Structure 1
Amino acid sequence: MSGSKLRSLWAALAGALVALLLISGCGSPAPQDQKPADPVAEVAFEPGAAAGEVNPTAPIKVTVDRGKFDSIALTNADGKQVAGELSKDGRTWQATEALGYGKSYSWSGQAIGEDGLQVPVQGQFSTLQPKKVIRATINPTDNAEVGIAMPISVKFDEPVKDKAAIQRALTMQTSVPVDGSWAWLSDRQVDWRPKEYWPAHTHISVNAKLYGQSYGDGAYGMADLSTDFDIGRSQIVKAAVGTHRLVVMRNGQQVANYAASYGEEYDPGRNTPNGIFMVMQKNPVEIMDNPRYGYHDVRKTWAARFSNHGEFIHENQENAAALGKVNNSHGCINLSAADAKAYYDSALIGDPIEVTGSASSMPPQFDVYDWLLSWDQWTKKSAL
């Protein structure tokens, strides 16, 4: 083969090789282990995942950013779902019921991101376990109609240490403005009393948010309390010991003036003591005992208790000769049977009884002594 032909052959082979290399290098092979893109949706919990000692009344919610929930549930250890509400945009779910003490809860469901990718909703948390759960009661009860001296009273089964926290959890609304204050009468009782008597026909609503509330020393409230009640007409008993009369004022007008006998004036143990009291209880029949003065199982009718020291307004027909003339009872206010019945029928629990002119006064130490304290003394018993 001539030299020129050989050179031509090598040139052709070189050109073909270059073309083959160009063809084989016009693209790059797909990567074999490329990671898929991360979902854009992000789920956040309140309380955080694996949280412990959560207050069962704390806000419990879950939110998703750059996405919305496709399904969502919060369940307790027994598999029961907690009631909750999903926002209109589908991005926030919040519990609408309080949780239990000492319980564990689990999240489940999934969110769909703006990129169409799914994100699981999962996690757990637990609520606090109190050392002690304390029960409370509230008075007056729902739908009651009471007198103008009636306090609102919240009583606890155990002493309360953090009184300020509990007092902040107590709220009330009145149909007309009323000036008043809470006062702690003991470690187990807090009362609200108006500065002056309630205006007649006031409607009152009270809420005590005690569930989940710390009482101090690891104790917590058992349940929330509430009550709605009404003040009735204004009725005040004017019990001036020296007059031997009992006067009833209703809505500012005198409606009755009964002959009465008060406690023996010269024996401090038998005085009807001075003070502002209120009707605490009404019983058509009351069995009375006073071992100190030698009587037992004495049956009296139309009895309105106004002190846990033992004072009542009641019938004592056997003492008719003294009524309106002599004070000779053992501390109660005696009336005739007819007058006692008339007064009994007119009285509401919470009506004030104002005793004046006695040789002694009642110390503020028995169950209901709200009106035996001056306003200055009362407000100093507030924890706030």
Structure 2
Amino acid sequence: MLLLATACSGSGEEEPEGGSPSATEAPAVEIAIAPGDGATDVATSGELRVSAEHGTLTGVSVTDADGAEVPGELTEDATGWEPDEHLANDTAYTVTAVGENAEGREATAGSGFTTVAADETFTTNWNISDGATVGVGMVLSLTFDTPIEDTAAVRDAVRITADSGAEVRGHWFGTQRLDFRPEEYWEAGTEVEVSFRVRGVEGAPGVYGTLREDLTFTVGRSQVTTVDAAAKEMRVVRDGEELRTVPVTTGAEATPTWNGRMVITEKHRETRMDGATVGFGGEYDIPDVPHAMRLSTSGTFIHGNYWASSDTFGRDNVSHGCVGLDDTRGAGDPDTPAAWFYDNSIIGDVVEVINSEDDVIAPDNGLNGWNMPWDEWGAGQ
């Protein structure tokens, strides 16, 4: 049902002879609001709209019981209005619309309705904190606690704006993980705004999102490190200038390091590494690995190594797949190569491994979607 409102002439106007409007008088604007007044179980998207005939809309306000306003936009000709985000579930809304005809005479219409309650809800988690400064390889990754069927609707409810103008696309890995990145690494200094508008999105039949939040993050300096497994060295480049070349040890012949572009996702001054957790049985269990930075979900790190002799680095590849740098036990010496690299790295920096005797790492093994071609990223979703 549509609620209609018609403007009336002012009380001081002279009525034409016979009591009918003048033939030259513009018809009153008619405002229609859907859903109709008193409607219940209204869908959180696709039903709320306001339109005007014989005139234009000059203002539309949609608020909940707490006074929070639903943002929306007028059409180019100002004869229609729709919200630009999903409504919340099980929420009462009040609509007030104002319009005017060609002669500027106003009319006002109002309506109230309640949206459908959710059978279930899904939660959304993400990996970048508000205000963070990250490296140029950072990927925004969202995970969901239930499988998503309408992947396009959920993807489109995450809006990302980079002040560099870079296009940012989302890609689904399965039905519970959604990653976002630009085509190339972010430009250093880019400011990024993220608007999560997942609240009210029906991710699966009867299952709705609850997240409505904004965050910003900044892309810091550009640091890309290239690890050459054959040469057993890594070259650290920041903002186009080489900072340092460091000898390393990578994966042994039986356990080579992945090739490909990887992103630092965690930093630990010291951490335990137990081979049993990544499929190596009891081959190692080191309780205090220094200066460790994660590169993959499957257990690839770039870290300090105090148990190998110093002449191993740059000479032999002896690891179980990690990239090792010379270090001391206890992570207390700031002058070791591992300590230097740790102190000069941030979350989101890139470590690219080349010339290893292994495949390229899978794009969903860590935040490593950079290994997927852009024309495949987000295709078909």
TM-score, normalization by structure 1: 0.71
2:158–2:196: 8 Å Cα contact kept in structure 1?
yes
After TM superposition, the structure 1 = structure 2 runs for residues 70-109 of structure 1, keeping only pairs within 5 Å, are 82=67, 101-103=89-91
Change (3 A) 1:102 1:327: same
Whether 1:330 and 2:320 are equivalent positions in the alignment is: yes
Distance in 2 between residues matched to 1:234 and 1:105, nearest whole Å: 47
SS in 1 for 2:39: coil
> Could you say which residue in structure 2 is the equivalent of 1:366?
365
Please report how far the alpha carbon of residue 104 of structure 1 lies from its aligned counterpart in structure 2 after TM superposition. Answer: 5.8
Distance in 2 between residues matched to 1:325 and 1:146, nearest whole Å: 33
SS in 1 for 2:173: strand
> Could you say which residue in structure 1 is the equivalent of 2:117?
129
SS in 1 for 2:307: helix
Larger radius of gyration: 1
1:180–1:192: 8 Å Cα contact kept in structure 2?
yes
After TM superposition, the structure 1 = structure 2 runs for residues 1-384 of structure 1, keeping only pairs within 5 Å, are 46-55=34-43, 82=67, 101-103=89-91, 125-265=113-253, 267=254, 270-291=255-276, 292=281, 294-319=283-308, 320-337=310-327, 338-364=336-362, 365-380=364-379, 383=381
Alpha-carbon displacement from aligned partner over 1:183-239 (angstroms, at most 9, x marks no partner) = 112211211112111111111111121112221312111121322101110101110
The amino acid of 1:158's aligned partner reads T
Change (3 A) 1:372 1:105: closer
Change (3 A) 1:299 1:209: same
1:272–1:332: 8 Å Cα contact kept in structure 2?
yes
Please report how far the alpha carbon of residue 279 of structure 1 lies from its aligned counterpart in structure 2 after TM superposition. Answer: 0.5
> Could you say which residue in structure 2 is the equivalent of 1:27?
none
Structure 1 stretches lacking a partner, 5+ long? 1-41, 64-73, 86-94, 108-120
Change (3 A) 1:180 1:45: closer
Change (3 A) 1:84 1:299: closer
Moved more, 274-283 or 97-106: 97-106
**Number of aligned residues:** 308
Pairwise CA RMSD: 3.4
SS in 1 for 2:377: helix
1:137–1:225: 8 Å Cα contact kept in structure 2?
no
TM-score, normalization by structure 2: 0.71
SS in 2 for 1:349: coil
Please report how far the alpha carbon of residue 100 of structure 1 lies from its aligned counterpart in structure 2 after TM superposition. Answer: 5.3
Distance in 1 between residues matched to 2:338 and 2:168, nearest whole Å: 33
Change (3 A) 1:56 1:377: closer
Please report how far the alpha carbon of residue 46 of structure 1 lies from its aligned counterpart in structure 2 after TM superposition. Answer: 4.8
Distance in 2 between residues matched to 1:84 and 1:363, nearest whole Å: 46
Change (3 A) 1:252 1:363: closer
Alpha-carbon displacement from aligned partner over 1:107-166 (angstroms, at most 9, x marks no partner) = 9xxxxxxxxxxxxx9987432011211111233221111111111222222111111122
Change (3 A) 1:214 1:302: same
Distance in 1 between residues matched to 2:118 and 2:316, nearest whole Å: 59
Distance in 1 between residues matched to 2:94 and 2:374, nearest whole Å: 52
SS in 2 for 1:378: coil
Please report how far the alpha carbon of residue 102 of structure 1 lies from its aligned counterpart in structure 2 after TM superposition. Answer: 2.8
2:272–2:288: 8 Å Cα contact kept in structure 1?
yes
> Could you say which residue in structure 2 is the equivalent of 1:118?
none
Structure 2 stretches lacking a partner, 5+ long? 1-29, 53-61, 71-82, 96-108, 328-335
